[in-house]
């Protein structure tokens, strides 16, 4: 009798243990999930290793013959004035000339007082000169307001200044090209070109080397003339030119911004963390190529480009263009900053990919809803034809006005559209699963369900909240990391 | 991260494995005592449900770990509701043809 009782109690014990085990197992799942969310290891990039493991997405099933940008007519190259930085640079030179020279234009003057080709550009783009004037007025207010905000955002300011410092002055690396590319791109070559076993060997080698320099993503493509700026060439100045024959291939590099500061945009983030790293990566790559006998030219941020980067990166299979006009990659989302090195080294190009970014952007629109400048289109389908390609076109001028408005020391950018993009999530198991599963669903049902959760569960401050008072309240998309909060470290 | 680093340690997953073995063994005894006529596909359905429940909890806490408290709680609420609905459906399936003799529930 006693034995039977003991057997029954053992059975009951195991049954009870099973129940307790189930609760402990679920508790373990909760703990492991919490750890996964907290862990900084799920941030992709920034040199976790030097062997390209951050480029983890399997692009093979999504390779396509033609890139996902839609060619709808005759294409043409990008006139340099179509780039806002080059355009604004021209205006600044007229307004703030070198010592001893008189200003040739001021904000009180109109479009007819501008020299060519600026006059024609602004006449053909009504409203853009007024937007520039607005931006300059806003920047004056921004500088005045900075006294109010300096204490709070001091660390962010210092952090940004530290990152931008290597890009300035005569010691900046890589050095600016001097003279025509046929000379400058070959300057510093120390040997005759070593013959590769095959272009495929060349691509594999260059990708590995670029990863060792710190690149998160690397892709290779042939250089299309359409992506080469026209009217200005670095090292030469204003000139009409054909794509140099030795710009055969481009090695395209993408790296992310530091993630916690990215989420705390616009006021805590900076573009210069990624920019300075890209300058080092591309600059080193240029030196490396020249030491094995091949021509090389870096195209690096913030403005030292002779090529448009996003379409080049699309050709190189790194990602697709989003509604916000930015490259969206499977690994980094929109948090991908770009540089490239053009070379005559024989390489095997990558193929572009189609992971359904355009279809997702058609229904998402979070970046447009959150953009404090209203620069991003709300149209379902891309309505604009830009130089023969159909796409969503962002209003660069409005975007620039917000750079001059947010509570920073000077126009330091905004980056809210990078931060709020649903693709720009940490690569922990839950977001990575969504990113990996979605491209395999041709119906779009999965992405619609994910988007419904994104919009229903997550809190967004709303476009105006990112602006300083009285229009907004200096909100950030995510909370700033402790290491950028001045009040955490100093007695204020 | 402190104490949470334990979740990155192999020993944590060894313990989780042992717990799952215990859950499995306990579940077979529960099934017998409840008079459930379990087949291989019913066991698969049970484990899929338990996996969904585990992932729902892990998912909610992942979002909370990311400082997305509101999203995490919403996620937990919705996914646990779905798990309860699925659990009821699963119970109805498992109890088809149940031998209710000796069942502690009847």
B36 close to B28: Cβ distance less than 8 angstroms: no
Quickly tell me which residue has 């060792």 as its tokens: A212
With 0-12 / 13-18 / 19 or more C-beta atoms within 10 angstroms meaning exposed / middle / buried, residue A262 is: buried
Q: Compute the distance between CA of residue B76 and CA of residue A216 in angstroms, rounded to an integer.
A: 33
CA angle A402, A121, A408 (to 5 degrees): 15
What is residue A328's predicted lDDT score, i.e. its pLDDT? 98
Phi/psi for A461 (5° steps) reads -65, -30
With 0-12 / 13-18 / 19 or more C-beta atoms within 10 angstroms meaning exposed / middle / buried, residue A139 is: middle
The answer to whether the CB atoms of B12 and A17 lie below 8 A apart is: no
What is residue A5's predicted lDDT score, i.e. its pLDDT? 55
Task: Name every chain B residue with its beta carbon within 8 A of the beta carbon of A32.
Answer: 7, 12, 16, 58
Q: Compute the distance between CA of residue B50 and CA of residue B36 in angstroms, rounded to an integer.
A: 17
What is residue B7's predicted lDDT score, i.e. its pLDDT? 80
The band of B8, judged by pLDDT with boundaries at 50, 70 and 90, is: confident
Task: Look up the domain containing A407 and give its range.
Answer: 60-85+131-427+459-488
Asked if the structure places residue A344 within a domain, the reply is yes
Q: Which of A392, A387, A372 is nearest to A475 (CA)?
A: A372
What is residue A1's predicted lDDT score, i.e. its pLDDT? 45
Closest Cα in chain A, distance from residue B50 (Å): 9
Closest Cα in chain A, distance from residue B54 (Å): 6
A429 touches chain B (CB under 8 A): yes
What is residue B10's predicted lDDT score, i.e. its pLDDT? 86
The answer to whether the CB atoms of A25 and B54 lie below 8 A apart is: yes
A339 close to A364: Cβ distance less than 8 angstroms: no
Kindly identify which residue of chain A lies nearest to residue B71, measuring between CA atoms.
Answer: A457
Count how many domains chain A has.
Answer: 1
A94 close to A103: Cβ distance less than 8 angstroms: yes
pTM, entire model: 0.92
* For testing contact with chain B, the best of A11, A21, A456 (most B CBs within 10 A): A21
Asked if the structure places residue A27 within a domain, the reply is no
How far does chain A reach from its first CA to its final CA, in angstroms? 78
Task: Name every chain A residue with its beta carbon within 8 A of the beta carbon of B60.
Answer: 30, 33
Residue B36 is given by DSSP the state: -
Task: Name every chain A residue with its beta carbon within 8 A of the beta carbon of B55.
Answer: 29
Asked if the structure places residue A2 within a domain, the reply is no
Q: Compute the distance between CA of residue B83 and CA of residue A429 in angstroms, rounded to an integer.
A: 20
Phi/psi for A223 (5° steps) reads -90, 115
* For testing contact with chain B, the best of A38, A43, A259, A264 (most B CBs within 10 A): A38
Over residues B19-40, the pLDDT tens digits come to 999 999 999 999 999 999 999 9
Asked if the structure places residue A283 within a domain, the reply is yes
Q: Compute the distance between CA of residue A197 and CA of residue A343 in angstroms, rounded to an integer.
A: 17
pLDDT along chain A (492 residues), means of 10: 60 91 94 92 87 94 94 94 93 91 93 95 95 96 96 97 89 92 96 96 98 97 97 96 97 97 96 97 98 98 95 98 96 98 98 97 97 97 92 95 96 96 94 94 95 94 96 96 96 88
The answer to whether the CB atoms of B20 and A458 lie below 8 A apart is: no
The answer to whether the CB atoms of A26 and B26 lie below 8 A apart is: no
Please identify among residues 431-470 of chain A the ones whose CB lies closer than 8 Å to any CB of chain B: 453, 456-459
Asked if the structure places residue A68 within a domain, the reply is yes
Asked if the structure places residue A243 within a domain, the reply is yes
* For testing contact with chain A, the best of B3, B13, B29, B58 (most A CBs within 10 A): B58
Partners of A252 in beta bridges: A219, A340
What is residue A188's predicted lDDT score, i.e. its pLDDT? 95
With 0-12 / 13-18 / 19 or more C-beta atoms within 10 angstroms meaning exposed / middle / buried, residue B35 is: middle
A311 close to A321: Cβ distance less than 8 angstroms: yes
Kindly identify which residue of chain B lies nearest to residue A481, measuring between CA atoms.
Answer: B67
The total number of residues written for chain B in this structure: 106
Asked if the structure places residue A443 within a domain, the reply is no
Over residues B65-106, the pLDDT tens digits come to 999 999 999 999 999 999 999 999 999 999 987 776 656 655
Asked if the structure places residue A400 within a domain, the reply is yes
* For testing contact with chain A, the best of B5, B7, B12 (most A CBs within 10 A): B7
Task: Name every chain B residue with its beta carbon within 8 A of the beta carbon of A427.
Answer: none
């Amino acid at each position: 009798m006693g034995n039977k009782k003991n057997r029954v109690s053992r059975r009951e014990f195991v049954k009870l243990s099973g129940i307790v085990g189930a609760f402990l197992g679920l508790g373990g799942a909760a703990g492991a999930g919490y750890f996964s969310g907290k862990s900084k290891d799920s941030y992709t990039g920034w040199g976790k290793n030097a062997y390209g493991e951050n480029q983890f997405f399997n692009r093979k099933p999504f390779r396509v013959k033609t890139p996902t940008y839609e060619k709808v007519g005759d294409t043409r190259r990008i006139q340099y004035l179509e780039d806002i930085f080059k355009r604004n640079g021209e205006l600044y030179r007229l307004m703030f000339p070198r010592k001893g020279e008189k200003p040739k234009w001021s904000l009180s003057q109109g479009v007819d007082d501008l020299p060519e080709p600026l006059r024609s550009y602004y006449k053909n783009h009504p409203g853009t000169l007024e937007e520039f004037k607005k931006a300059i007025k806003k920047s004056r207010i921004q500088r005045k307001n900075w006294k109010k905000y300096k204490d709070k955002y001091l660390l962010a300011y210092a952090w940004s200044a530290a990152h931008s410092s290597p890009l300035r002055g005569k010691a900046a690396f890589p050095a600016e090209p001097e003279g025509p590319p046929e000379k400058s791109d070959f300057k510093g070559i120390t040997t005759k070109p070593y013959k590769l076993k095959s272009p495929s060997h060349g691509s594999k080698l260059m990708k590995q080397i670029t990863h060792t320099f710190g690149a998160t993503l690397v892709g290779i493509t042939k250089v299309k003339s359409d992506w080469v700026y026209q009217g200005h060439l670095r090292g030469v100045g204003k000139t009409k030119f054909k794509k140099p024959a030795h710009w055969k291939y481009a090695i395209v590099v993408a790296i992310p911004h530091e993630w916690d500061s990215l989420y705390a945009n616009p006021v805590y983030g900076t573009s210069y963390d990624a920019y300075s790293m890209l300058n080092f990566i591309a600059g080193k790559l240029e030196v490396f190529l020249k030491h094995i006998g091949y021509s090389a030219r870096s195209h690096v941020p913030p403005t030292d480009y002779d090529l448009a980067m996003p379409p080049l990166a699309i050709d190189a299979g790194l990602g697709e263009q989003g509604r916000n006009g930015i490259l969206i990659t499977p690994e980094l989302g929109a948090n991908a900053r770009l540089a490239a090195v053009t070379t005559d080294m024989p390489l095997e190009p990558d193929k572009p990919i189609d992971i359904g970014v355009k279809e997702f952007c058609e229904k998402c629109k979070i970046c447009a809803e959150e953009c404090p400048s209203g620069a991003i289109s709300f149209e379902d389908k891309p309505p604009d034809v830009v130089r023969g390609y159909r796409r969503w076109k962002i209003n660069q001028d409005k975007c620039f006005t917000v750079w001059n408005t947010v509570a920073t020391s000077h126009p330091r950018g905004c980056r809210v559209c990078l931060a709020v993009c649903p693709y720009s999530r940490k690569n922990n198991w839950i977001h990575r699963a969504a990113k990996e599963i979605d491209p395999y669903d041709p119906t779009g049902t999965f992405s619609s369900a994910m988007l419904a959760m994104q919009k229903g569960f997550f809190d967004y401050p709303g476009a105006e909240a990112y602006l300083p008072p009285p229009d907004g309240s200096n909100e950030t998309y995510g909370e700033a990391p402790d290491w950028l909060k001045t009040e955490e470290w100093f007695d204020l | 991260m402190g104490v949470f680093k334990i979740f990155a340690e192999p020993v944590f997953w060894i313990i989780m494995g042992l717990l799952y073995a215990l859950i499995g063994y306990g579940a077979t005894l529960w099934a017998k005592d409840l008079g459930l006529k379990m087949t291989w596909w019913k066991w698969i359905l049970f484990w899929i449900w338990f996996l969904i429940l585990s992932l729902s909890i892990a998912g909610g806490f992942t979002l909370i770990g990311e400082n997305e408290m509101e999203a995490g709680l919403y996620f937990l609420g919705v996914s646990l509701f779905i798990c309860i609905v699925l659990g009821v459906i699963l119970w109805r399936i498992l109890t088809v043809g149940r031998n209710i003799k000796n069942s502690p529930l009847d």
